[in-house]
Amino acid sequence: MAGEVGQMMSALRVSGPAAGLVGEAVVPGDKSISHRAVILGALAEGATAVSGFLNAEDCVNTAYAVEQMGVAIEGLGQANVLIQGVGLQGLEPPRGTLELGNSGTGMRLLMGVLAGQDFAATLTGDESLRRRPMDRIAEPLGQMSIQVEGHGPRCTPPVTVLGGVPKPITYHTPMASAQVKSAVLLAGLYAAGRTTVIEPAQSRDHTERMLAAFGAQVDIEGLAVSVQGQPDLQGREVVVPGDFSAAAFLLVAGLLVPDSEVTVRGVLLNPTRTALLEILQRMGADVQVTNERLITGEPIGDITVRSSDLVATEVGGEEIPRMLDEVPILALAATQADGRTVIRDARELRVKESDRLATTAEVLSAFGATVRQQPDGLVIEGPTALYGATIDSHHDHRIAMMAAVAGTIARGCTEIHGAQCIATSFPEFVSTLGDLGVDIRGQR
Ligand code: S3P
């Protein structure tokens, strides 16, 4: 696996508190867009050239899975990846089980694609992924007449998608989930007619943007997204912007460490992803966005933060799906904000790579913060001094990276065990934080 974290270490050691973090950084390509580029590139006619592809375990596992179904991909491990599309009907039955590692996105999106094949395929993953519910995909695929077999009432992996010809449906998702929306839309590519997904709140919209860019007919009306089945998808160039969810760790570090000024360049600014910026700004954060532009239909820009005194806030409702993966790092910011921060409507966090409400509360409490779990959120009292701690990542990259940023502001030494999971989304995390001035290193 490319990247320092996967190669070398299982534990991370951070010495804090850091003096001012000063400098510029870039972050790896967006994880959500990289998954979709591989999948749509595989299903298109002709070649798709992807630059800025996230060469981290999650997206590489998705690439390996489509390779196992007969798609040639050149350049994995490099920034430019070339996918030789086989067309909607061109996938071949895989010889073995498809191994998606830690990636819920890879598994759920591929389940949608497999719904339309004339073969059955089985998908599995690591310890964390094998605990995650796939009933949220099996249910709409069942309505499309496609059978999925998994374990227990929540249909946990390994899962087998039996394949067939999906019926076009209109599906109301019970939760705002881009993975569920995308799986149904991808299955809908194989249906004769129009498939519609209606969400309770807007989730990230990369699938619909990219489907349209590849030539599918996509219609959006409020929270309803429809795709016309059996399109001719055409391979194209995809430029993947920097991942906002990776940048979030550097931005919060820059806000919390005194005397800091950090700029992250070329970051995705899609509004379905950036609620954290709005929330930090209302907490009093000094955040500036410059050099805004569009690449391959997605807004990007440079984000600069300067150390700021934060005040507590309340977060919930439609903001949550637009900052889903940033809740752990927001919770850390809240430990340094004046007052009580309340995060609600975030029950979905309980079924991520770990139960992120529980693991965020556990990790921040270990640093000395005052954090209470609610069934659907967190209550955080601030500001509190943090002290170096020994932490377990719970196989969750975002928990490990949040703990590293907490270690950056904490007094004393922090050790994070199981930190190799950072390689699923941000393989250069340690050197990027180190270059900004953090005393951080990997240990075997
Ligand atoms: C993702 C969607 C989100 C997010 C995940 C990536 C995607 O999950 O947490 O990291 O790329 O579609 P849900 O769609 O399950 O909410």
How many other C-beta atoms lie within 10 A of the C-beta of residue 7?
A: 12
Q: Which of 205, 239, 273 is at the close of a domain?
A: 239
CA 410 – CA 199 distance, rounded (Å): 40
Task: Assign residue 289 the CATH number of its domain.
Answer: 3.65.10.10
Helix axis angle, 244-256 relative to 275-282, nearest 10°?
20
Q: Is residue 203 within 6 Å of ligand 1 at its C-beta?
A: yes
The 3 state secondary structure assigned to 99-168 is: ECCCCHHHHHHHHHHHCCCCCCEEEECCCCHHHCCCHHHHHHHHHCCCCEEEECCCCEEEEEECCCCCCC
Taking CA atoms only, the protein residue closest to ligand 1 atom 10 is 325
> Do 386 and 410 meet the contact criterion of CB atoms below 8 Å apart?
yes
User: Which atom of ligand 1 is found nearest the CA of 324?
Assistant: 9
Q: Which of 209, 239, 269 is at the close of a domain?
A: 239
Taking CA atoms only, the protein residue closest to ligand 1 atom 13 is 177
* pLDDT above 90 coverage of the chain, percent: 96
Say if residue 260 is in the same domain as residue 196: no
Taking CA atoms only, the protein residue closest to ligand 1 atom 4 is 325
Say if residue 297 is in the same domain as residue 378: yes
Kind and range of the H or E element at 170?
A: strand 170-172
Say if residue 158 is in the same domain as residue 58: yes
Say if residue 217 is in the same domain as residue 250: no
- Distance (angstroms) between ligand 1 centre and the Cα of 272 equals 11
Kind and range of the H or E element at 61?
A: helix 57-68
Residue 391 has pLDDT above 70, yes or no: yes
User: Which atom of ligand 1 is found nearest the CA of 136?
Assistant: 15
- Distance (angstroms) between ligand 1 centre and the Cα of 108 equals 10
Residue 143 has pLDDT above 50, yes or no: yes
Q: Which of 239, 260, 278 is at the close of a domain?
A: 239
pTM: predicted TM-score of the whole model, two decimal places: 0.97
Say if residue 359 is in the same domain as residue 396: yes
What is the pLDDT, as a whole number, of residue 2?
A: 41
Residue 437 has pLDDT above 80, yes or no: yes
Taking CA atoms only, the protein residue closest to ligand 1 atom 5 is 105
Kind and range of the H or E element at 37?
A: helix 31-43
Q: Is residue 126 within 6 Å of ligand 1 at its C-beta?
A: no
Taking CA atoms only, the protein residue closest to ligand 1 atom 16 is 177
- How many domains does the chain divide into? 2
Say if residue 356 is in the same domain as residue 286: yes
- What's the whole-number average pLDDT of the chain? 96
Q: Is residue 425 within 6 Å of ligand 1 at its C-beta?
A: no
Say if residue 65 is in the same domain as residue 116: yes
Say if residue 424 is in the same domain as residue 374: yes
- Summarize pLDDT for 302-339 with one digit per residue, the tens: 999 999 999 999 999 999 999 999 999 999 999 999 99
Q: Is residue 325 within 6 Å of ligand 1 at its C-beta?
A: yes
CA 255 – CA 309 distance, rounded (Å): 8
Say if residue 343 is in the same domain as residue 353: yes
Instruction: Output the CA angle 176-179-182, nearest 5 degrees.
Output: 100
**Which token pair is 314?**
């309340």
> Do 380 and 402 meet the contact criterion of CB atoms below 8 Å apart?
no
Exposure string of 103-118, with b = 16+ CB inside 10 Å and e = fewer, is: bbbbbbbbbbbbbbbe
Exposure string of 235-268, with b = 16+ CB inside 10 Å and e = fewer, is: bbebbbbbbbbbbbbbbbbbbbbeebebbbbbbb
CA 156 – CA 135 distance, rounded (Å): 7
Residue 10 has pLDDT above 90, yes or no: no
Say if residue 249 is in the same domain as residue 182: no
Known catalytic residue: 355?
no
> Do 368 and 386 meet the contact criterion of CB atoms below 8 Å apart?
yes
- Distance (angstroms) between ligand 1 centre and the Cα of 386 equals 30
| For range 345-364, the mean pLDDT | 98
* Pairing status of strand 390-392 against strand 412-417: parallel
CA dihedral 370, 382, 354, 180 (to 10 degrees): 140
Residue 114: which domain range? 31-239
Kind and range of the H or E element at 14?
A: strand 11-16
Q: Map tokens 């990247």 to a residue.
A: 3
Say if residue 38 is in the same domain as residue 20: no
Q: Is residue 178 within 6 Å of ligand 1 at its C-beta?
A: yes
Say if residue 283 is in the same domain as residue 308: yes
Identify the active-site residue in 126, 325, 392, 396. Answer: 325
Q: How confident is the model at residue 9 (pLDDT cuts 50, 70, 90)?
A: low
- Summarize pLDDT for 217-251 with one digit per residue, the tens: 999 999 999 999 999 999 999 999 999 999 999 99
> Do 43 and 85 meet the contact criterion of CB atoms below 8 Å apart?
yes
In this structure, what are the phi and psi dihedrals at residue 312, rounded to the nearest 5 degrees? -65, 160
